[in-house]
Amino acid sequence: MSGDIETTARILDGKSLAGEIRADLTRRVAAHRAAGRRAPGLAVVLVGDDPASVVYVRNKRRACLEVGIAARDVDRPAGTSQASLEALIDELNADPDVDGILIQMPLPAHLAAQSLLDRIDPARDVDGFHPINAGRLLLGTPGLAPCTPLGIMALLDRAQIPIDGKRAVVIGRSNIVGKPMALMLLARNATVTICHSRTPDLAKTVREGDIVVAAVGRAEMVRGDWIKPGAAVIDVGMNRDAAGKLVGDVAFAEASRVAAAITPVPGGVGPMTIAMLLSNILASYESRLELAGRGDLRSS
């Protein structure tokens, strides 16, 4: 590292924690297989060939295979109709080998994405995007929850960062990250503020946060002087700066001089998202196993 970046914050190493979680999941899958049960299965639906989506999907499939989850590629051309995707989802919902269904977002503009997500069996909705699962998260009842905020909670807990009674500021209000993140922090007794593009004096509000989660998708928007000294800073951003370098939503060098703990980009939140996807798939598989009275899932 260059000498002019003086990092005082603890680095929250998502890559390393994700590795531990994956090792644990690998052991659990192996135990199921050793007992004669089929592998857990994920169907990954990719429509079109958006380059970023192709990379994300490849990483998710690879991660599945590493822990022993059978990942089925379901690639469809960009022009695929809504009706044929609906038929595909119905088919996957009825497939006894499929524990998780993931539709990679974004979908081409002619498709009604939420109506496709609504069609996924909530018990196979490993992204946690179905309205039933969103509602369960809101109500605090058991269900499948979105992977990125789940991964962030795991990172905070592993680092023993206190949440109860703390001020948390979430920047971004997406259905995938911002809203579920706010609900999870609220469920743990944080006082939560959700900020977005219309929030006046964003810096002032962010400065109130003992925990700051940045999920806006704008390179290095959150500056060091926005951060309360001693705060925990979680950076969900994955952006390219002017030089093409991968950077987060937080100006890392500045913020790490003020924060007590901070996630790097890459190697922070990203690997945790994938680890939580795998964890959701296994949870879905294990609950199906119980429903089926075990025997039904034995491999022949």
Question: Which residues are known catalytic residues?
Answer: 60, 104, 127
Q: Is 147 in the site for ligand GUN (CB under 6 A)?
A: yes
Distance in Å, CB of 167 to ligand GUN, minimum = 27
- Residue ranges of alpha helices (H) inside the chain are 14-34, 51-67, 82-93, 113-119, 131-139, 147-158, 178-187, 202-206, 252-255, 269-291
Stretch that binds ligand GUN, among 27-35, 97-105, 206-214, 283-291 (CB under 6 A): 97-105
Strands 239-240 and 246-247: what pairing? antiparallel
Q: How far apart are CA 275 and CA 73, in angstroms?
A: 19
Residue ranges in 182-241 that form contacts with ligand GUN under rule CB under 6 A: none
| Bond prior to 122 in cis (omega within 30° of 0) | no
β partners of residue 195:
171
What is the contact mask toward ligand GUN in residues 157 to 186, using x (rule: CB under 6 A)? -------------------x----------
Of 25, 29, 104, 226, which lies in the binding site for ligand GUN, with binding defined by CB under 6 A?
A: 104
Stretch that binds ligand GUN, among 35-43, 100-108, 259-267, 291-299 (CB under 6 A): 100-108
Helix (H) or strand (E) holding 71: strand 70-76
Stretch that binds ligand GUN, among 34-42, 69-77, 99-107, 203-211 (CB under 6 A): 99-107
Token pair for 127? 């992204």
Token pair for 27? 């052991």
Residue ranges in 6-65 that form contacts with ligand GUN under rule CB under 6 A: none
Q: Is 102 in the site for ligand GUN (CB under 6 A)?
A: yes
What is the contact mask toward ligand GUN in residues 270 to 299, using x (rule: CB under 6 A)? ------------------------------
Cα dihedral 20, 24, 29, 31, rounded to 10, equals 150
Q: Which residues bind ligand GUN (CB under 6 A)?
A: 102-105, 127, 147, 176
